[in-house]
DNA sequence: TTGAAAGCGCTAACAC
DNA sequence: GTGTTAGCGCTTTCAA
């Protein structure tokens, strides 16, 4: 069923059908109804390709994320997808994994699909070396690129980020002020936001002369879901003689693993071991005591990202970078 | 940059460029190289719309799920998306929510985008009434529809499911055999697979004369992430005088809430309260003791779903329904 | 082995 | 207010 069939059955030209389809005002009510009736009757839907070919837009946004099964990223995707749809856009999702080559090929794929913009969810897309970030700038030469929780200065690239540095700085400060001095930072990602977090922790520690170098920063390298492996890491850390009375974790999963480690080691929480997580996800409620965690206002970030995107697409001048503050949600794992 | 530009710069016709692009054999090595060089030089990528218009396929699969932030669904999406990409397809994701109307409009949207198939992830898409499932059959009239963990008999609809009934039946049986008689089923969804699970539990209970009707089946109605609300539900259940020494939960989140409830109520697990979860997700490791849970082999299901889909798309005859068995993974919450 | 040209279904500029 | 028609960029016959 094409626009030609409809025009024929309705006894009008294809232009008129097209006008009705696109809500043009220059159609008489009578003709409009006639056309609409035929469309309804045959359950006709316009061919998106043909439309896209002419308009060179498909009202489609490409979303890239490293791993949609990651609790945090999944949530972000959910918010973004919903808000896009509300605004008449839909989305192609690409789970790229963590390999640069795959990221680049996903990007090319999306561009060849003529998406109107590309949203990079999470900070895994920013690499250490400038050169490795070229693919983002390249893409931005074609369509606006939006970064969620990552930053890159380039034309046509817009960033919406949570102030991870400050959040971590303040969380660390609070723990220090509660009288704990041996605080270890427990993390699993050296991504853009990962580095910001680490820097915030480090600044607070150094200011109080508590930073012990390598020993203070514990990097867990493994599946982001493998809690037993994480607790195991901490157990070994303890066996190696590293002393810690507080753990600040880069995400709630790591924090939860810390709580679990404490239980297994019969350490009282928060008295003998205090823990702070990050993301304020459902995991915060999953352990006992419940996690103190930093809420980085994901939904707000996503909402803002979409508003910015719509602005850009609409031709408005939009801020290149927007920063939101996080908030420490205190629960049972801190004093 | 279009195929015309390339043809001009390479000094050949657009047809030849097209042949090179599509790997046709009828091109001389020399011409091929010449064209490829130009393509490389200008970083030309074909316009997917135009291609789609002609071919009437975009090598794109529509994925619908109710809520991509659901742990289980997110995982499924991840597997599916990956496996599709490996096979040269990409995917448009639609998070529909739980409302029928939205589901239908998402479906129409995908069809109008000319997806080659639609995958419905999770059992929330099957409704009670036959009439409400018409939208699926309608869609299947256009493109093959794949159901993950749901079943519907209709032309061009293919289902891959986990045998939830048997898994639950056997889990319940095991708990009964371990000497527990007051077992409550704790669930939050009356979807297709939700019903199968319930039926499995019920059958085992009835066979042993342990089923107490309504009291045995506790339906929690609330956010699928709100663990405090779930524990609260159980607390009230206890206060109402319902006696239970075992809880079989329809998913790990509910099970985890049960473990948490037990801790708060100072009940020993598994001695005073045994718990079995479902999905064998990361949550199983999140509580103490760790959850006994049913592994429903999600990755296998997804893998099989994609193979079936590729078969169907390739014109092969494929099974309309495939059933996989689950497996009870015993951990600390059962005797 | 290559090129010319006819679509694919739609939008939008232009004519009436 | 409505119809005609020229693209949009590609694939695919059909001829050469």
Indicate whether A58 pLDDT > 80: no
Is the minimum distance from the CB of B266 to strand C below 7 Å? no
Q: Give per-residue pLDDT as tens, B149-192.
A: 999 999 999 999 999 999 999 999 999 999 999 999 999 999 99
Q: How many CB atoms lie within 10 A of CB B163?
A: 17
Candidate from A102-106, A163-167, A182-186 with smallest mean pLDDT: A102-106
Q: Is the peptide bond before A122 cis (omega within 30 degrees of 0)?
A: no
Taking CA atoms, B46 is separated from A111, B4, B37, in Å, by 10, 11, 15
The distance (Å) linking the CA of A26 with the C1' of C9 is 22
Considering all nucleic acid strands, name the nucleotide whose C1' atom is nearest to the C-alpha of residue A45.
Answer: C9
Is the CB of B12 less than 7 A from some atom of nucleic acid strand C? yes
Compare CB distances from A227 to B68, B82, B285 and report the shortest one's residue. B285
Each residue of A74-117: pLDDT tens digit? 999 999 998 998 888 888 888 888 999 889 888 888 887 788 89
**pLDDT (0 to 100) of residue A46:** 86
CA angle A205, A208, A211 (to 5 degrees): 40
Q: Is B294:B277 a contact under the CB 8 Å cutoff?
A: yes
| Residues B266, B263: Cα–Cα separation, whole Å | 5
Who among A48, A53, A68 is closest to B114 (CB)? A48
Q: What is the mean pLDDT of residues A216-224?
A: 95
Q: Do A82 and B93 count as a contact with CB atoms less than 8 A apart?
A: no
Give the model's pLDDT for residue A256.
Answer: 97
- pLDDT tier for residue A174 given thresholds of 50, 70 and 90: very high
Q: What is the pLDDT of residue B25?
A: 76
Query: Is residue A217 classed as helix, strand or coil in its secondary structure?
Result: strand
Q: Which residues of chain B have pLDDT under 50?
A: none
Residue A234 has pLDDT above 80, yes or no: yes
Tokens representing A75 are 């949530």
Distance set, CA B68 to CA A74, A75, A137, B73 (Å): 6, 7, 29, 6
How is residue A153 annotated by DSSP?
Answer: -
Using a CB–CB cutoff of 8 Å, tell me whether A128 touches chain B: no
Q: What does the block give as tokens for B163?
A: 């045998």
Residue B46 and residue A112: Cβ atoms within 8 Å? yes
Q: Cβ distance A161 to A151 under 8 Å?
A: yes
Distance A154 CA to D7 C1' (A): 35
Beta bridge partners of B324: B162
Name the CA radius of gyration of chain B, rounded.
Answer: 25
**Of residues B49, B52, B93, nearest to A91 (C-beta):** B93
Of B65, B113, B222, which to mutate for an interface test with A (greatest number of A Cβ within 10 Å)?
B113
> From edge to edge, which strands make up the β-sheet containing A183-187?
A217-219, A183-187, A246-249, A274-278, A292-295, A327-329
Q: How far is CA A80 from CA A182, A244, A303, in A?
A: 39, 39, 7
pLDDT given at position A228: 95
Helices (H), A113-226: 134-140, 164-177, 192-207
* pLDDT bucket at A43, cuts 50 / 70 / 90: confident
CB count in 10 Å sphere of residue B121: 28
Please tell me the predicted confidence (pLDDT) of residue A176.
Answer: 98
Q: From the Cβ of A3, is strand C under 7 Å away?
A: yes
* Beta strands B90-95 and A90-95, pairing class: antiparallel
Q: What pLDDT shows up at residue A286?
A: 94
As a whole number of Å, the end-to-end CA separation of chain A is 68
Lowest mean pLDDT among A46-50, A316-320, B315-319: A46-50
Torsion of CA A136, A139, A143, A147, to 10 degrees: -20
pLDDT confidence band for A222 (50 / 70 / 90):
very high
> Given CB atoms, is B78 within the 8 Å cutoff of chain A?
yes
CA-nearest of B105, B80, B85, B84 to B94 is B105
Residue B92 in 3-state DSSP? strand
The separation, in Å, between residue B103 CA and nucleotide C6 C1' comes to 40
The pLDDT value given to residue B314: 83
| Interface membership of B272 toward A (CB under 8 Å) | no
* CB within 8 Å of chain A, chain B residues 190-249: 225, 227-228
Torsion angles phi and psi, residue B6, rounded to 5: -65, -45
* Residue A172 pLDDT greater than 90, yes or no: yes
Token pair for A205: 């520690």
Give mean pLDDT, residues A233-256. 97
Q: Pinpoint the alpha helices (H) of chain B.
A: 3-10, 14-21, 29-42, 48-55, 71-86, 100-112, 134-140, 164-177, 192-207, 227-239, 252-264, 298-313
Residues 5..64 of A with a Cβ closer than 8 Å to B: which?
Answer: 45-50, 52-53, 56, 58, 60, 63
Label residue B97 exposed, middle or buried (CB < 10 Å: 0-12, 13-18, 19+): middle
End-to-end CA distance of chain B: 68
B51 closest-nt by C1' vs CA:
D10
Q: CB–CB of B136/B275 below 8 Å? A: no
pTM of the complete model: 0.89
Helix and strand tally (H, E) in chain A?
12, 12
- The lowest-confidence range among A54-68, A131-145, A147-161 is A54-68
Q: What angle do CA A66, A70, A76 make, to 5 degrees?
A: 80
- At A109 the pLDDT is 80
Helices (H), A187-297: 192-207, 227-239, 252-264
Helix then strand then coil, in percent of chain B rounded to 5, is 50, 15, 35
Q: What is the dihedral of CA A248, A252, A254, A259, to 10 degrees?
A: 80
How many CA atoms, within 13 angstroms, populate the side-chain half-sphere of residue A279?
24
Confidence category of residue A259, pLDDT binned at 50, 70, 90: very high
Compare CB distances from B68 to A52, A58, A68 and report the shortest one's residue.
A68
pLDDT in tens, A268-296: 999 999 999 999 999 999 998 999 999 99
Nucleotide nearest A51, from its CA to each C1': C10
Contact A1/A42 with Cβ under 8 angstroms? Answer: yes
Average pLDDT over residues A29-51: 87
């Amino acid at each position: 069923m094409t626009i030609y069939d409809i025009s024929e059955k309705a006894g009008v030209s294809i232009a008129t059908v097209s006008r009705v389809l696109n809500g043009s005002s220059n159609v008489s009510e009578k003709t409009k109804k006639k056309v609409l009736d035929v469309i309804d009757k045959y359950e006709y839907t316009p061919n998106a390709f043909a439309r896209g070919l002419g308009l060179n837009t498909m009202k489609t946004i490409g979303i890239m994320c490293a791993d949609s099964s990651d609790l945090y990223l999944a949530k972000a995707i959910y918010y973004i997808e919903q808000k896009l749809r509300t605004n008449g856009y839909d989305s192609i999702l690409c789970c790229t994994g963590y390999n640069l080559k795959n990221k680049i090929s996903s990007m090319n794929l999306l561009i060849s699909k003529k998406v109107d913009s590309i949203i990079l969810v999470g900070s895994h897309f920013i690499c250490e070396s400038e050169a490795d970030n070229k693919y983002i700038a390249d893409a931005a030469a074609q369509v606006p690129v939006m970064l969620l929780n990552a930053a890159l200065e380039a034309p046509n690239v817009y960033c919406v980020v949570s102030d991870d540095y400050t959040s971590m700085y303040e969380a660390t400060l609070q723990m220090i002020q509660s009288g704990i001095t041996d605080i270890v930072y427990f993390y699993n990602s050296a991504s853009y936001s990962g580095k910001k977090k680490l820097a915030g922790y480090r600044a607070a520690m150094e200011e109080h002369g508590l930073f012990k170098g390598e020993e203070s920063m514990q990097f867990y390298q493994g599946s982001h879901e493998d809690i037993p492996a994480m607790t195991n890491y901490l157990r070994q850390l303890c066996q190696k003689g590293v002393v810690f009375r507080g753990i600040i974790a880069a995400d709630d999963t790591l924090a939860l693993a810390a709580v679990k480690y404490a239980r297994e080691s019969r350490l009282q929480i928060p008295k003998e071991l205090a823990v702070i997580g990050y993301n304020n996800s459902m995991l915060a409620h999953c352990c006992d005591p419940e996690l103190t965690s930093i809420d980085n206002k994901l939904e707000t970030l996503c909402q803002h990202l979409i508003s910015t995107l719509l602005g850009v697409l609409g031709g408005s001048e939009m801020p290149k970078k927007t920063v939101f503050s996080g908030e420490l949600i205190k629960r049972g794992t801190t004093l």
